[in-house]
Structure 1
């Protein structure tokens, strides 16, 4: 394997199950549900691992989000990220010996459904079914939906193929990241987005609930995955919400809106989009897992508003990490470029994600009542590891009493 400088790639999941993934779009419009599902699967010879970035438009969206010229970015992204695969088998058959607890995952600003595969695949390898939502609130760097072709177009029938497979009578529509307009106040936009994002997470859970009940679902994307195999496979009394950055705020908003989520994990949450008045209405346990370099006093102060004497609210900080230590980018760049682009911290990225994942699993076991061995990592919830800080490294200014 060589040392970590030369070996780039998303680390394989460590749990006992092989991991499959498939894409699901129900209702072709922008109001529908779109997510990548990760699940325990059968070991299979045939299945391929999908490309980390599904098609060119996502790279265009990332370029726009990062304010790089698209044609310039094509060369950079192809060079840096063109050959990477996700550590899961596309459309592999579902297989689990027991009912799977469920996690809904929400991505950060400028991300999309595939960029957190190291986290989602790890959870699936440990027996979870994970739906990584692609948000349609214009906070993803790119996403797509379909509109109906005009009748004149439909008659022709031989439409040009786009880079992702479009059903026959539908036209693919791309939606890119919307930057703040000149002079626009940020809070109203972000608050509106976080509410839509929470609704999209709840909708994903509703769709999984239908699938679990054996309702016939029509996946617009026509993948070979057999959705009927998921009937009665999910333990919907054991459901959690998780997200990174804007997705961390989304997790908190979703906990407030939907009591079916029994707990939440917020990775380096960006608290700005949330209304303060929702904090007292969140009744479920929350675990804040922070990076060392991203947080600041105002943001931590808002996390602290969620502290409770009766509901478990935990916070740890992973030493040597940056905000981008949670998405997959951190594994795919060498040290020099990684540090230059703030995609890598001082800590080995595999160690950082491993600590985050194990702490998450311990927290989920505790609050979903799982009968697994994840409690072996309970100490991590309290920051008891040389690479962890209990609470935060940010100094909160105490007013003189």
Structure 2
């Protein structure tokens, strides 16, 4: 039997790392560099790599992979913050977040930009080599789907923590006009080799940018003003790239046109989740793939290192709804973690079609919304099931005092904005780092239980300690 991870009983963790997991650095600053929360798992060195596959917006994918990274043999890993990447993938992503907030005037953009902390970093080393495992052991996989107005780095704290616990995480950047900003290759300036798997074959895949229609054009909105054009990407000389802007549509609109728009978006998102899984299979098999962002990429670096039997989905908000739909569509996914799932895009879908174990982790403010009625009915129906073995397959937990944005990196980057956000709910106050710890530990505990993955005993201990104080079920079920 293939083992995933290393049994925590055999881990001789340095005292420094043990202490780090118990006492957080709440200043989020190391060597004068601001950063998102540091990972606390066994693997303290995290690597990250961007992969862009396919010469089309609709059939290719863009993802960032977070993974345990190799350290120097015989030496304890020492953090080097000067190797860490900036939280913003590109300077134009600042404008992307402004588009999400529907900020169009230069004055308001300048004011919003002053609120943002400058140069926040992600505690990971770009393009580091993966940490090798003993024979017979492989890394389980998590495919992560971001929320509305986010991107592949918006949940870097969660992704780094999961990687430090021994997971390989593929954080997608969706191209359905729901990301704050993203891009795709119009066309290469020189030809690439064809990839081995059919799903990455470039033949017939190239579509001219003029034929790549934005999502949302079918919505009749007389007040909509398209965002100002951005200059072209120029830092990748072998590709001609095109930006994909965020399409602002109020989340409070629920007319038929908007529902059709959201369904179109979520269908594209589900396809991208499946293609991300295809990519992980190709990496594990050692297939020759073309990473358009790095023509010299060593496509065999993850060969035989990924556990293709232990694959989970995780997503936040719109991403939470996405992973529920993706689980129903693709049985290769084995467990699902939905953070504050936004159910509007799938309100007419049958959740009973989802066969995988599902854990939903809610912030307190979103748990009070009508959004949760469909979930309540779904969980109650499972509780009425006569099969006691399946009663733990569906759970919905509320983190008391938390808000929707605290399940992302936003509180660490836009800390002033987060304080303003909290003024509208003074009684719902909890440190965002605690929300981060509860979210990741609940997810790891659930995945470990259902996929038979050994996890650190401290995770179970932490969750048990917080269950009475900070956690409660979404609905009370019969005993």
Tell me whether 1:278 sits opposite 2:278 in the alignment. no
Verify the 8 A CA contact 1:359 1:381 in the aligned structure 2: no
Q: Deviations for 1:163-191, whole angstroms, at most 9, x for unmatched residues?
A: 563242x3110011112399773211111
Structure 1 gaps of 5+ residues are 152-160, 394-401
User: In structure 2, what is the equivalent of residue 287 of structure 1?
Assistant: 359
Tell me whether 1:178 sits opposite 2:247 in the alignment. yes
Question: What is the distance in 2 between the residues matched to 1:315 and 1:378?
Answer: 20
User: In structure 2, what is the equivalent of residue 340 of structure 1?
Assistant: 420
Question: What is the distance in 2 between the residues matched to 1:213 and 1:225?
Answer: 15
Question: What is the distance in 2 between the residues matched to 1:128 and 1:2?
Answer: 21
Question: What is the distance in 1 between the residues matched to 2:244 and 2:271?
Answer: 18
Question: What is the distance in 2 between the residues matched to 1:380 and 1:46?
Answer: 30
Question: What is the distance in 1 between the residues matched to 2:334 and 2:111?
Answer: 44
Question: What is the distance in 2 between the residues matched to 1:81 and 1:271?
Answer: 32
Structure 2 gaps of 5+ residues are 1-22, 73-79, 191-230
Q: TM-score, normalised by structure 1?
A: 0.87
> Aligned runs of 1:320-339 on 2, under 5 Å?
320-334=401-415, 337-339=417-419
Q: What is the CA RMSD across the aligned residues, in angstroms?
A: 3.0
Verify the 8 A CA contact 1:56 1:163 in the aligned structure 2: no
Residue 51 (structure 1) shift: 0.6
Q: Deviations for 1:169-217, whole angstroms, at most 9, x for unmatched residues?
A: x311001111239977321111111111111011000011011111001
Decide which moves more: 123-132 or 306-315: 306-315
User: In structure 1, what is the equivalent of residue 235 of structure 2?
Assistant: 165
Question: What is the distance in 2 between the residues matched to 1:24 and 1:49?
Answer: 18
- 3-state SS of 2:151 partner: coil
Decide which moves more: 300-309 or 256-265: 300-309
Tell me whether 1:117 sits opposite 2:156 in the alignment. yes
Verify the 8 A CA contact 2:347 2:374 in the aligned structure 1: no
Q: Alignment partner for residue 132 of structure 1, among 142, 146, 171? A: 171
The change in CA–CA distance for 1:165 and 1:10 in structure 2 (over 3 A counts) is same
Question: What is the distance in 2 between the residues matched to 1:224 and 1:50?
Answer: 20
Residue 78 (structure 1) shift: 5.9
Question: What is the distance in 1 between the residues matched to 2:234 and 2:409?
Answer: 22
Verify the 8 A CA contact 1:39 1:125 in the aligned structure 2: yes
Question: What is the distance in 2 between the residues matched to 1:264 and 1:349?
Answer: 23
User: In structure 1, what is the equivalent of residue 57 of structure 2?
Assistant: 30
The change in CA–CA distance for 1:130 and 1:21 in structure 2 (over 3 A counts) is same
Question: What is the distance in 2 between the residues matched to 1:91 and 1:71?
Answer: 36
Question: What is the distance in 1 between the residues matched to 2:283 and 2:163?
Answer: 18
- State how many pairs are aligned: 383
Residue 74 (structure 1) shift: 4.9
- 3-state SS of 1:99 partner: strand
